[in-house]
Structure 1
Amino acid sequence: MQTRRVFLARFLGAAALTAPALTACSSGSDSGDSGSGNGHVKSATAITKVYGEGQKFIAVAIEYDAEIATAKLSTSSFKAEGRTVTKVYANTSAATADQGTDGRYVIVELSPDDDSALLWGISGPYGNGGGGGQGGASGSAQPQASASQSTGTPGVVPGPTLGATGGAANLKKAKGTVTQTGTVTTTGGTAYPADSAKVTTTGTVNPIVDDFKQFTFKDPKTGKSLPYNLYVPKNYDKAKSYPLVLFMHDASVVSTTPTATLVQGLGAVCWASPEDQAKREAFVLAPQYPAVVVSDDYKPTAYFDATANLVEDLTTRYSIDKDRLYSTGQSMGAMMTLGLNIKYPDLFAASFVVAGQWPDAQAKPLAKKKLWVTVSQGDTKAYPGMNAITKVIEAAGTKVSRATWNGRAGATAFAADVKAMRAKGTTVNYSTFLKGTTLTAAQVKQNPNALEHNSTWPIAYTIEAIREWIFDQRK
């Protein structure tokens, strides 16, 4: 399934790594570690956020020695080296907020569209330096396949080598330098005048990502050791029973860095967000594959079965409802989702398949499964592949609901789209993004033959209504 993703990762990644990073304090000042505001600054912390195209550095939290009046702050109060300041307000903790609150922390929000905002990259065999295969939504142009990479099908490039291992994730450190350029006023009325001293972050907060814990599953059946990330509901109660969502990453994320799958995009973290957990408490499982599990020959390695065994093992160690096990994945992970549903038909209650395919000759068991499939019509392999699978499902007597969506639609439109499909009451739903709509207009104009594989999942995992549908399903 590495066909288009590999090609895109190699070309899109370079932009992320060549962009200038935030600099540390300049050699002309020795007060950059923590000394702004005439000595009133206690610390500075970088704050990150995961987007569809990967983790970004999006704010600095500056801790003062007294509560700061948020109403007295503005974007002109601070300057960040190499970055665009979009919002400044006070808060009671080192966290971003919709509205400011008087507190000891001043939050300096930074534009996620800055060239140096993106932290995520991958240095493994299927991602040359950055972007993690997150094409399309990142704003980078997507080139078409060269003749030397052609498989005989226009726009399709060769897939990965089965079992190929990945390197360490090239995740840049979130580090920035800020200067207080305006007066900061405490709630008691004391004015801290502008100060030319530079303050550099010394710590990092990674919302949601930091809530996952890292473990290794030593599978006695396959002999494989599989690293994985696990989110346990914050109010976990052994007396209750919880659902579990399994997310499987694409082949460009194959890495020896355990948390790579958490920062490459939204596929894992969207299920563990405070908003989602408030509505649907659940365990979230995100294995980190050190090698390619399945390639275009559809003959998976032992990590495939080890994944199923890991899910089963967790149900014996936590209070997890075996009737509410769900799977999802993008590209290679989508292939694994389809393959696992075929080989282990009683394991998952429902699955969200994003930009994947499997041999249609093996697809008949999928007619008995609850599936939501999303793919871009411009995806030159996954789209025809899923078309063939849905025909097999329909031939087996299962009705499939189909819909074509605009990939540029917002949350409100997507919610209405999902509602319309749900009204049909089918167990298999097939939503496709209209060709070209997962890319920006500028990208389409620049290259009408741009590949639309990687640009599917940065959008698909933002659709909250699909996640809601998944959790409504039971065995």
Structure 2
Amino acid sequence: MNQTAVTATAAATAAPSSIRDVTALSTVYGDGESVSAVALHYPKTIDASRLKASDFTVAGKTIDKVYTNDAPETALAGKKGSYVIVSLVHPATPLPTAASQNKPKDDQGDKGKEGSNALNGGDAPMYSDRKAPDLSVAVSQTGTVYATDGTAYGPTTTALAADKTVDAVKDAFKTYIYKDPATGYEMPYNIYLPKDYDADKAKTYPMVVFIADASANINDPKAVLYQGNGAIVWATPEEQAKHPAIVLAPQYTEDLIRSIGMMTTDTHQWTQGLTLVTDLIMDVSNKYRVDKDRIYGTGQSQGGMANIAISDAYPELFAGQYLVACQWDTQEMEKLKDKNLWLTVCQGDSKAFPGMNEATALWEKDGAVVARSRMWDSTGGTPVFEQMMRVMED
């Protein structure tokens, strides 16, 4: 062989991969948080034209695509850089069946009976067994990766575990503790401020308040951020580009349940928990530059019920609400007939489905405008849902 060929052969069989570090990139989806990509840092700028998905494997994951970037973060389009982003497929969540539903925990404490019949249409279990998600991930480089100067990085001999985990959206929330003068109790909360919040001290922002369902009622103050995307979605770059907003996500803890009980129950009575979360919302709206005419509420189950109860008691607080899988005393809900509301309930929900149908019928009787969609098949997928949304909006 000539000298050029010898040099090329030596480069192709270079020493093992020189991956400097591995970063797991997580995303909070509707069904919780999971690793959505892995960022591999190489010593030199990587040749994107020679990069292939088959050059990598990720244990227990399916690779969607690979591309280069100049930072350990995902991007809509690849950039020239020393990072390889291994993007992963997020699998569809299996539809639940009766057999797959979690049973209430046996240890319900002194108030356990209140939550013991959740599967028969009663209140939700009082204490959740939710844990922080396992975001561990290991990646192997199975092929050769080339730098733009021709340097070849050979396959790894073992799978490399991620050194750290980053979720740019979730990590942008700050966590604080609110102490309520009225009840004397403390409550953690998470708040997101728009990236330009400090640039203009005179500017006010709308605020979205998300209250989670009871499965997030654990002592981890960030559980409300990873149990689903009810809070996170409003802080994504895509949503913030359309509507810069403050996002507030209170965390109702197990300690609060053991001291003052559930935030909401099927008796539809005002609770100390509702006082606590309402006082928190008021405090935050005064402490930050919140446009008081543009405070929006959303939540599912416990969170939706809290939204309704608070809106009944303080009808001027929310400019609009998105209520999911929840219900309340329909006579009290009649006060909401002139509110801007979006409602989503499942036909199989023995409480929310009949409850919300009764409420909307009362609103129509009182002269409110109600738009209903025909049933959505939960397996229909995003394109079908978007079309049905457009029809209902029209």
Fold agreement, TM-score > 0.5: yes
Letter in 1 for 2:389: V
Q: Deviations over 1:270-314 (max 9, x none)?
A: 111100000000001111111331122222431212222212112
Alignment of structure 1 residues 295-444 onto 2, 5 Å: 295-406=265-376, 407-423=378-394
The answer to which of 332-341 and 175-184 deviates more is: 175-184
| TM-score, normalised by the number of residues in structure 2 | 0.84
Q: 1:415 & 1:208 partners in 2: Cα distance? A: 24
Cα contact 1:228–1:285 (8 A) shared by 2: yes
Report how far residue 38 of structure 1 moved.
Answer: 2.8
Alignment of structure 1 residues 37-436 onto 2, 5 Å: 38=16, 40-113=18-91, 138-143=93-98, 156-160=120-124, 164-166=126-128, 169-236=130-197, 237-290=200-253, 291=257, 292-406=262-376, 407-423=378-394
> Secondary structure at 2:44's aligned position in 1?
strand
Q: 2:342 & 2:353 partners in 1: Cα distance? A: 14
Q: List alignment gaps of at least 5 residues for structure 2.
A: 1-13, 105-114
- The share of aligned pairs that are identical, in percent, is 38
> Secondary structure at 2:194's aligned position in 1?
coil
Q: List alignment gaps of at least 5 residues for structure 1.
A: 1-35, 114-136, 424-475
Q: Structure 1 stretches (4+) deviating beyond 6 angstroms?
A: none
Superposition RMSD in Å: 2.5
Cα contact 1:145–1:157 (8 A) shared by 2: no
- Pairs aligned (count): 359
Question: Residue 8 of structure 2 corresponds to which residue in structure 1?
Answer: none
**For the structure 1 residues 302 and 192, does the alpha-carbon distance in structure 2 shift closer, same or farther, using more than 3 Å as the test?**
same
Question: Residue 112 of structure 2 corresponds to which residue in structure 1?
Answer: none
Q: 1:222 & 1:154 partners in 2: Cα distance? A: 28
**For the structure 1 residues 315 and 195, does the alpha-carbon distance in structure 2 shift closer, same or farther, using more than 3 Å as the test?**
closer
**Structure ranking higher on relative contact order (CA contacts 8 Å, 6+ apart):** 1
Report how far residue 412 of structure 1 moved.
Answer: 4.6
Q: 1:219 & 1:274 partners in 2: Cα distance? A: 32
Larger Cα-atom Rg: 2
Report how far residue 203 of structure 1 moved.
Answer: 0.4
Report how far residue 391 of structure 1 moved.
Answer: 1.9
> Secondary structure at 2:337's aligned position in 1?
helix
Cα contact 2:17–2:155 (8 A) shared by 1: no
Cα contact 1:88–1:108 (8 A) shared by 2: yes
The answer to which of 247-256 and 309-318 deviates more is: 309-318
Question: Residue 431 of structure 1 corresponds to which residue in structure 2?
Answer: none
Question: Residue 9 of structure 2 corresponds to which residue in structure 1?
Answer: none
Question: Residue 107 of structure 2 corresponds to which residue in structure 1?
Answer: none
Q: 2:68 & 2:379 partners in 1: Cα distance? A: 33
Q: Deviations over 1:359-378 (max 9, x none)?
A: 11222211132211111223
Cα contact 1:145–1:155 (8 A) shared by 2: no
**For the structure 1 residues 371 and 103, does the alpha-carbon distance in structure 2 shift closer, same or farther, using more than 3 Å as the test?**
same
Cα contact 2:121–2:351 (8 A) shared by 1: no
Letter in 2 for 1:259: K
> Secondary structure at 1:227's aligned position in 2?
strand
> Secondary structure at 1:383's aligned position in 2?
helix
| TM-score, normalised by the number of residues in structure 1 | 0.70
**For the structure 1 residues 314 and 218, does the alpha-carbon distance in structure 2 shift closer, same or farther, using more than 3 Å as the test?**
same
Q: Deviations over 1:129-161 (max 9, x none)?
A: xxxxxxxx6205411699x99x9x997343236
